[in-house]
Structure 1
Amino acid sequence: MGWRVRSTMPAVLVTAVVLASVTAGPAAALADLPQRPRPLTAAEVGGFLDTRVPRLLAEHDVPGAAVVVVTREGQLLTRGYGQADVSAGTPVDPERTAFPLDSVVKSVTATAVMQLVERGRLDLDADVNDVLTELHVPDTHPGRPVTPHHLLTHTAGFEDTLTGAMPADPSGEVPLPDYLRSRLPARTHPPGEVAAYSNYGYALAGHLVEAASGLSYEDYVARHVFAPLGMAQAEVGRPAEVADRLDLARSYAPGPGGWVEVGRGGDNVVPAGGGYATVEAVGRLLRAHLGDGELDGRRVLSETSARAMREARFTHHPALPGVGYGFEQLRGGTEPMVGHRGDGPGSHGLFALFPESGVGLYAVQNGDGAAEGDRTVRDVVVAEFAERFLPGRPPGDAPGPAGDTTGVAGVYVTARIGEGGVARAAGLLDHRVVAAGTGGGLVVDGVAWRPAGGDVFRSRESGELLTLVRDGSGAVIGLGYGAAPSTTYLRVPWQVAPPTLLVAAAAGLLALASVALWPLHALRGRGRDRRGSGDGRAATLTAVSAALTALAGVLSVALLGAFPAGWSLVTRLVMSGSPLPALPLTAVAVLGWVMAAFAVTAWWRRRWSRLQRFHYALMAVGALLVALVGWEAGLVWRPLG
């Protein structure tokens, strides 16, 4: 579902970096493309997959995977590798084993929306409130309503919200409109200005399908998308319901003793990522979109609508790939690719169309992976397939005239960030540090980007493109990445920039860690308390408070470390609505104020030696500094919201 969190590279960039190793520049005209000398054959493609995929599973420590390859003429082949259920030893069967679709469901949701647009039930450019009856999107930006177009292109301007999306068990599931109403996010940006990947936005699009059709989202998709396409082994719905009807693969994360099964729990945002299908079924969806909405003589979309879904409906610069309706434009091998990634706890898939060659591929795996570059079995498969079997052309990487990089230096944070809660901390981890480079170029996170014309720059390392985003006055306010068209990075003040917060947190934790020196104070100052033995109890309380605060600080560090290293557990805690992620730093905040009170009392009553009082005050300040960083990062409980 696009849930994962990473500290140095956003989830959506992982695929692009792999693909960029064999990338071309912006799309050329079809007539300029070298043509493949012969059609794909099942023997040739099957030989490649049978050799490469098992090796990748072993390298990345992933239990199983499945692949389907199609052309406009039909299904070329399906393949299954490894295990669908490790404990039972059940092999992956591409015709029977259903994998989570995760965010690939967004392509299904967009297909349903476009059907209703064709029937006059929805208007892509009308206020969603014209259709909604069970909730109302506030008019935060007067005269600029949220529309279906904004929802489908991730440009509605919603803050990110994850809490409660996937409860720990089905008892936490609620009807879709109830979830949407109770978790309605703030509109932090005017619609249509920045891209901020939004699961809430697609869940709301799914509810528009319900409101416009009079059917539940699940029923509508089953009747009007899956049934006409013959996708018998595909369903959208909640895990417990779907498990009774499909043969589901188990999902796994790496553990100290081997693979650990990752349960699915509940799902309150089905239109954003609650789907399951065999690769054979997904192959039929690929063929329908390769056929511009038609499969085996049955049309589910008009040719105009199908092509509109694949076109760039939002981009920060024409030279960069953009966001379509349910698709993102990517670079796959040596020709443009459109598709969607799906990422969930223990499952990762890539739905890829190569319209110019008339080829489609879906690769999915049932494990997070433990090797360097984890979660990329599907990415490598797609990239290497495209490099090997699709037409080639030299990359368009000629340098262009240098643009104006005045005022570009700073820290940029993903627009997919919550104003509060753990989603904010997750967003802060996804940031870019930018400086002006030589020859009119840029340096982003230590990597040089050379000018490619105007505000566009090309990475010297990967060949990918980025563009500067400017406001009405021409000032640089953000970055747009070709590798991540559904994400804009926005400049933040240095005082609240992630590097500043990390330095402040490190200083505070270092002060707290000095509690280890407190026993030396006790030995040195035994029997020298200036107020007599009556204050011994107070001295003990202050020492205990310091130790507890330091312990809470250690737990906080462990939690923060789990974000990039063990995203499945932390993300599940966040999306289930668990308060656990906020507990350690909330404890630091409460105990920090207790320590501050004790420190003031110690100075007032002249307890201990001057050095002891100074040391204790330093620890109190350290605790409050860590708590302040936690507050800014959304990792301190806010009872008043």
Structure 2
Amino acid sequence: MPSDKPEGLAADLNDATELTAFIDRVMKSQMDDFKIPGGVISIVKDGKNLFAKGYGHSNLEEGKLVDPETSLFRIASTTKLFTWTAVMQMVEQGKLDLDTDVNTYLKTVKIPKTYPQPITLRHLLTHTAGFEEGGVGYQITTDPEKLPVSISKTLAKHMPALVRPPGEMLSYSNYGASLAGLIVEEVSGIAYNDYIQKNIFDPLGMKYATVQEPIPASFEPYAMLGYAQENDRFVTKPPTFEGGFRPAGSGSVSALDMARFMIAHLQDGRYGDQQILKPETARLMHSPAFQFDKRLPAMDLGFYEMKMNGLRIISHGGADTLFNTGLYLVPDKQIGIFVSYSGGDGGAAAAGVAKAFFDRYFPMQEVKLPPTSANLEDSVQKYAGSYQFTRRNHTDIDKFFSFLSQISITVSNNQLSIGSGAEQRVYAPIGRDLFQEVGGTHQMGFRTDASGKVTYLFLDELNPMPLERTPLLDQSKFWLLLLGISVVLFISILIGFAFRRREIKAMPKPQKWAVRLSAATAAWALATCVATFFILFNMDLLDRLSRIPLPLALYLFMPIILVGLTVAIMALSVMAWKNKYWTVLKRVHYTLVVLAAVVMSLFFYHWNLLGWQFG
């Protein structure tokens, strides 16, 4: 974004004309670049609305423009801020305690005692409860006829496994947020939707805000339509609903109503003559509650921290298949920004708007790296390797969808690198387990165990989603290498089968069937491998999270059949050696094909594709 001010000099935020012109340019640029049909932004400062404006259309077919006062944007996970605020209201009333076992408050759902430590509300608010991620087939729905849905029944039916001790590490969890909403509902005796309306929306005068699904009939004229781009044009898509997970993402709110919510949080719970939180409660909510490293942005009670141009920002984003939202509060400057989009790559656009704003009004001076000591340089190599997100699945079919979601850290010239080519980022050591982006402002940190072995990676721009060392059996490169070798062996057996038909036909019957079965196994293995990547990786996200598509359900027969064929050729391989079929070289080749089938079967087993393992 070109600027007409001297580099490093902050523009005047109180110049309304200049601010309007600047935001107009930024919003138009982002919406054009990321193909977005509708967007909105509201900015508050010192307890007042500084700027609010809609861009594009809320309904392209009817030519309706976005209105910052009335247009209802789906804010997805930003809804969690309402849930966390509700929890903190009940904490200050003495009805809830942050450090008490949540099972004390739950009436219809009980969390298993997987670890000695109980899960508390503090764990839920900081995403450190230890739940795995899940969602395939049940996280959302597009069918309003399936609503309303009970929060408690949904959480009981789709409870994820606990995969790490509570309090150990961040692992962003929609289930945990929904559980907090259920606690609000069951302890207050008021339905979640009604509680949020009565205790947050009504006191703040948020007239165009709801967590109800579908939205009330009176709000339908103001609902933003979600769009996807197909063949260079925008096509309306059905809205998604969170159902029983609504405390984690069901909100639909206008930009000016979100401005009221931002002002209340920036003013320690006060908006006008209304106080939705006591000052000490609001300040506690905005303070670090879990820190990966004290030198890096923390996780507060519901908000996650960011650093931008030297400013401490408390934030929360939200995204579903059609909408993207970003909310940024700067308590020290009494500034808040809310931005939301329908369609396109709104997540990148929201981040771009925030960066452009802070670059213009709070520009960062040049970042100078401190001198690196020799002992820091000597230890850089230990950080290299593959890392996977803590937010992933372990026990269901969902696990496979993290197969390629890994980050590789490489070492060059005593510095760490992520990515390659134009996307490469380089980080230099600036302290024990801490690195600074060369030519940028971002930082990364690591955790090590008592022996000095690296266990976790934290990228400040990805708070609250750290990563952990990827064990060999989870590394995509490891499996892709084995699968590649297996595919070559399968192709070789099929080529041999095609060119040796006369020879095979003349073989004794047991040998003939051994060769035929190996060819059938190879063909089926290749077909299953192709189907795996074609069906699973090409699944529409909406389909994946809302239902079990028939192609997926049918595909899952293929790995099971492959295992059956593998067992059969293993038995025939033993017979081949025992009865000395063919030459030694051919028997070795046959055995290698058997091992390839075993490897592929183990691949499907490890990634939970053997059977119908839905959460």
Contact 1:581 / 1:635 at 8 angstroms: preserved in 2? no
> Alpha carbons of 1:508 and 1:273: their partners in 2 closer, same or farther (altered >3 Å)?
farther
Distance 1:255 1:618 in 2: 46
One-letter identity of the residue aligned with 1:591: L
| Counterpart for residue 15 of structure 1 | none
| Counterpart for residue 169 of structure 1 | 143
Distance 1:87 1:511 in 2: 55
One-letter identity of the residue aligned with 1:286: M
Contact 1:159 / 1:416 at 8 angstroms: preserved in 2? yes
1:640 offset after TM fit, Å? 10
Q: Which moved more, 1:429-438 or 1:553-562?
A: 429-438
Distance 1:346 1:640 in 2: 25
| Counterpart for residue 192 of structure 1 | 167
Distance 1:303 1:309 in 2: 10
Contact 2:161 / 2:395 at 8 angstroms: preserved in 1? no
Of the three residues 449, 474, 487, the one matched with 1:471 is 449
Contact 1:512 / 1:553 at 8 angstroms: preserved in 2? no
Q: Which moved more, 1:189-198 or 1:353-362?
A: 353-362
* Cα RMSD, aligned residues only: 3.5
Q: Which moved more, 1:131-140 or 1:252-261?
A: 252-261
One-letter identity of the residue aligned with 1:195: L
Contact 1:41 / 1:76 at 8 angstroms: preserved in 2? no
Q: Which moved more, 1:69-78 or 1:192-201?
A: 69-78
1:412 offset after TM fit, Å? 2.2
Distance 1:273 1:243 in 2: 21
Of the three residues 225, 232, 235, the one matched with 2:210 is 235
What does 1:314-393 align with in structure 2 at a 5 Å threshold?
Answer: 314-369=290-345, 375-390=347-362, 392-393=364-365
1:47 offset after TM fit, Å? 0.9
Of the three residues 603, 609, 612, the one matched with 1:629 is 603
| Structure 1 length-normalised TM | 0.83
Contact 2:553 / 2:612 at 8 angstroms: preserved in 1? no
**Is 2:566 the counterpart of 1:591?**
no
1:217 offset after TM fit, Å? 0.9
**Structure 2 counterpart SS, 1:52:** helix
**Is 2:53 the counterpart of 1:79?**
yes
What does 1:45-84 align with in structure 2 at a 5 Å threshold?
Answer: 45-84=19-58
> Alpha carbons of 1:548 and 1:437: their partners in 2 closer, same or farther (altered >3 Å)?
closer
| Counterpart for residue 396 of structure 2 | 421
**Structure 2 counterpart SS, 1:97:** coil
Distance 2:509 2:144 in 1: 57
One-letter identity of the residue aligned with 1:238: E
Of the three residues 480, 504, 518, the one matched with 2:482 is 504
1:361 offset after TM fit, Å? 1.1
What does 1:213-612 align with in structure 2 at a 5 Å threshold?
Answer: 213-239=188-214, 245=220, 247-256=222-231, 258-267=233-242, 268-369=244-345, 375-390=347-362, 392-395=364-367, 397-399=369-371, 401=373, 403=376, 404-405=379-380, 407-435=382-410, 438-439=413-414, 441-445=415-419, 447-460=425-438, 462-512=440-490, 517-518=494-495, 521-522=497-498, 524-526=500-502, 529-530=505-506, 546-559=522-535, 561-562=537-538, 569-570=540-541, 572-576=543-547, 581=552, 584=555, 586-594=557-565, 597=568, 600-601=571-572, 604=575
Q: Which moved more, 1:101-110 or 1:629-638?
A: 629-638
Of the three residues 69, 77, 83, the one matched with 1:95 is 69
1:530 offset after TM fit, Å? 2.6
1:618 offset after TM fit, Å? 5.6
**Structure 2 counterpart SS, 1:321:** coil
1:165 offset after TM fit, Å? 1.8
1:104 offset after TM fit, Å? 0.4
Distance 1:352 1:306 in 2: 16
Distance 1:256 1:602 in 2: 53
Q: Deviations over 1:12-45 (max 9, x none)?
A: xxxxxx9xxxxxxxxxxxxxxx996744233222
| Counterpart for residue 29 of structure 1 | none
1:467 offset after TM fit, Å? 1.5
**Structure 2 counterpart SS, 1:227:** helix
**Is 2:94 the counterpart of 1:116?**
no
Distance 2:582 2:188 in 1: 75
Contact 1:553 / 1:585 at 8 angstroms: preserved in 2? no
The number of aligned residues is: 596
1:227 offset after TM fit, Å? 0.8
| Counterpart for residue 179 of structure 1 | 154
Distance 1:444 1:478 in 2: 15
**Structure 2 counterpart SS, 1:110:** helix
Contact 1:599 / 1:616 at 8 angstroms: preserved in 2? no
1:231 offset after TM fit, Å? 0.9
| Counterpart for residue 14 of structure 1 | none
> Alpha carbons of 1:192 and 1:526: their partners in 2 closer, same or farther (altered >3 Å)?
same
Distance 2:511 2:230 in 1: 49
Q: Which moved more, 1:529-538 or 1:590-599?
A: 529-538
**Structure 1 counterpart SS, 2:178:** helix
**Structure 2 counterpart SS, 1:252:** strand
**Structure 1 counterpart SS, 2:464:** strand
| Counterpart for residue 26 of structure 1 | none
| Counterpart for residue 157 of structure 1 | 130
Contact 1:337 / 1:352 at 8 angstroms: preserved in 2? yes
Contact 1:69 / 1:76 at 8 angstroms: preserved in 2? yes
One-letter identity of the residue aligned with 1:328: Y
Q: Which moved more, 1:629-638 or 1:594-603?
A: 594-603
Q: Which moved more, 1:199-208 or 1:396-405?
A: 396-405
Q: Deviations over 1:265-312 (max 9, x none)?
A: 442210111111111211111111122211122111112222222222
Distance 1:390 1:623 in 2: 59
**Structure 2 counterpart SS, 1:365:** strand
Identity rate, percent = 27
Distance 1:429 1:223 in 2: 44
Distance 1:556 1:607 in 2: 36
> Alpha carbons of 1:78 and 1:536: their partners in 2 closer, same or farther (altered >3 Å)?
same
| Structure 2 length-normalised TM | 0.86
- The higher relative CO (CA closer than 8 Å, separation ≥ 6) is in 1
- Listed as ranges, the gaps of 5+ residues in structure 1 are 1-17, 19-33
One-letter identity of the residue aligned with 1:131: Y
> Alpha carbons of 1:453 and 1:542: their partners in 2 closer, same or farther (altered >3 Å)?
closer
